[in-house]
């Protein structure tokens, strides 16, 4: 097993009715920026629940953080925080609102132009505005990790950043919040979390036996509850297992001591930046083709995955091949359309565009073995058309 350090200071408050604890989790006397998205929290009553449990706090509201949050929008919140001396941010929303709040938190005291946080991948280790979250959409794991993805609308760039100072102080995860989610978002959540596990698991055989078993447990749970939770999100057993699986998929635990890939995400982010395709749907398009193109590198792990998750038998190559097809079939069950042509128009130049961008950014060797070269990226994207 590789050496590792595990640090995760987020206090996770999980379960039905836990939003009631909100007032006890925020420092007394704090002036709060309550940040949210396009307004779903008004329709499902979560905004009211938050307000009811923040009696005695001074609150300034900031709404309109869009899905795949924009740098331009977030900078408006940065100004409000500076003008109004706000000292705590509460994110109420899905990954986009939480990621947006991470950027706001980092940008307020940033010494320099905050766009550099994104374009120069600056690690944020200190000087942030503290924040907590109420999660409304299980998917990204952002409620318990220190990463974020923000889009610069003016340049159509979707860029990841993070750092040890960007863990939420607390996250309230009440599984009943998923009842108001559109089917499409529930499907997205399952596939995003599934792919997070795959990025950290589907590499090559290693000595992290426990990490593999935990990863496989999350995959099996998502396969078991995913199709059902989309139909009956009011079923608490399904909702709670779905939500906890999504958090566990990307709270840092399963990636410790093992190789990681993340190339599906890096390519997928470009598809969202270019065509606005939902994040999870980009992963369903790219992931299986990445496994196909990188078959020789990944086949041992694909075979382990095929045996343990889908009970497949045969030669290593046969199991590995079938395991990819089973993954695609699961994504189809979850309502994904796995071709770029089914998700976007005028996409013919995508492969060249992405390769060119990666080249300019110096991203010439991706994946757990740094062997996903620009040629491989091109093959993966072309295969996805």
The H helix count followed by the E strand count for the chain is 15, 8
- For the beta carbon of residue 86, count every other beta carbon within 10 angstroms: 22
> Nearer to ligand NZQ by C-beta: 199 or 303?
199
* CA–CA gap between residue 223 and residue 217 (Å, rounded): 10
* Residue 123 CB contacts under 8 Å (≥ 6 apart), including other chains: 161, 162, 163, 164
Q: Which residues bind ligand NZQ (CB under 6 A)?
A: 37-41, 44, 67-68, 93-97, 99, 136-137, 139-142, 145, 147-149, 177, 180-181, 185, 188, 192, 250, 265, 279
Residue 380 interacts, among ligand NZQ, Zn ion, none and using kind-specific CB cut-offs from 5 to 8 Å, with none
Q: How far is the CB of 196 from Zn ion (least distance, A)?
A: 6
CB 70 within 8 A of CB 152: yes
Cα–Cα nearest to 152, from 75, 263, 266: 75
Q: How far is the CB of 152 from ligand NZQ (least distance, A)?
A: 13
Residue 188 interacts, among ligand NZQ, Zn ion, none and using kind-specific CB cut-offs from 5 to 8 Å, with ligand NZQ
> Nearer to Zn ion by C-beta: 178 or 191?
191
* Residue 212 CB contacts under 8 Å (≥ 6 apart), including other chains: 201, 258, 304
Residue 306 interacts, among ligand NZQ, Zn ion, none and using kind-specific CB cut-offs from 5 to 8 Å, with none
Residue 137 interacts, among Zn ion, ligand NZQ, none and using kind-specific CB cut-offs from 5 to 8 Å, with ligand NZQ
* CA–CA gap between residue 352 and residue 381 (Å, rounded): 9
> Nearer to Zn ion by C-beta: 99 or 192?
192
Cα–Cα nearest to 70, from 128, 186, 145, 154: 154
Residue 350 interacts, among ligand NZQ, Zn ion, none and using kind-specific CB cut-offs from 5 to 8 Å, with none
Q: How far is the CB of 263 from Zn ion (least distance, A)?
A: 12
Q: How far is the CB of 259 from ligand NZQ (least distance, A)?
A: 18
Residue 271 interacts, among Zn ion, ligand NZQ, none and using kind-specific CB cut-offs from 5 to 8 Å, with none
Q: Which residues bind Zn ion (CB under 5 A)?
A: 192
CA 64 to chain centre: 20
Q: What DSSP assignment string belongs to 218-267?
A: HHHHHHHHHHHHHH-TT-HHHHHHHHHHHHHHTSSTTTTTS----HHHHH
> Nearer to Zn ion by C-beta: 149 or 320?
149
Q: How far is the CB of 265 from ligand NZQ (least distance, A)?
A: 5
Residue 139 interacts, among Zn ion, ligand NZQ, none and using kind-specific CB cut-offs from 5 to 8 Å, with ligand NZQ
> Nearer to Zn ion by C-beta: 192 or 368?
192
Q: How far is the CB of 260 from ligand NZQ (least distance, A)?
A: 13
């Amino acid at each position: 097993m590789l050496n590792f350090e595990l640090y995760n200071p987020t206090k996770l408050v999980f379960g039905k009715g836990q939003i009631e604890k909100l007032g006890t989790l925020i420092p007394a006397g704090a002036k709060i920026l309550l940040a949210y998205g396009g307004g779903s929290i008004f329709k499902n009553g979560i905004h009211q629940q938050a307000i009811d449990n923040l009696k005695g706090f001074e609150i300034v509201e900031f709404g309109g953080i869009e899905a795949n949050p924009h740098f331009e929008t977030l900078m408006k919140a940065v100004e409000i925080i500076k003008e109004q001396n706000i000292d705590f941010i509460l994110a109420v929303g899905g990954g986009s609102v939480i990621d947006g709040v991470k950027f706001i938190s980092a940008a307020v005291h940033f010494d320099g132009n905050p766009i550099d946080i994104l374009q120069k991948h600056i690690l944020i280790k200190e000087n942030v505005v503290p924040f907590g979250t109420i999660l409304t959409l299980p998917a990204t794991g952002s409620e318990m990790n220190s990463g974020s993805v923000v889009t610069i609308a003016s340049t159509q760039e979707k860029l990841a950043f993070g750092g040890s100072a960007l863990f939420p102080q607390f996250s309230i995860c009440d599984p009943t919040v998923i009842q108001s989610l559109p089917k499409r978002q529930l499907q997205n959540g399952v596939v995003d979390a599934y792919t997070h596990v795959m990025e950290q698991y589907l590499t090559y055989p290693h000595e992290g036996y426990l990490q593999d078993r935990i990863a496989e447990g999350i995959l099996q749970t998502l396969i078991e509850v995913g199709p059902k939770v989309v139909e009956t999100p009011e079923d608490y057993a399904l909702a709670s297992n779905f939500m906890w699986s999504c958090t566990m998929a990307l709270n840092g635990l399963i990636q410790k001591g093992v190789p990681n890939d993340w190339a599906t995400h890096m390519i997928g982010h470009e598809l969202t930046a270019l065509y606005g395709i939902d994040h999870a749907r980009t992963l369903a398009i790219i992931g299986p083709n990445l496994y196909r193109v990188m078959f020789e590198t990944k086949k041992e792990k694909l075979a382990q995955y095929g045996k343990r998750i889908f009970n497949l038998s045969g030669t290593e190559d046969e199991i590995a091949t079938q395991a990819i097809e089973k993954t695609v079939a699961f994504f189809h069950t979850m309502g994904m359309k796995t071709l770029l042509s089914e998700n976007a128009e005028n996409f013919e130049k995508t492969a060249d565009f992405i390769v060119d961008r990666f080249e300019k950014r110096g991203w010439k060797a991706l994946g757990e073995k740094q062997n996903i070269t620009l040629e491989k990226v091109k093959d993966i994207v072309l295969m996805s058309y």
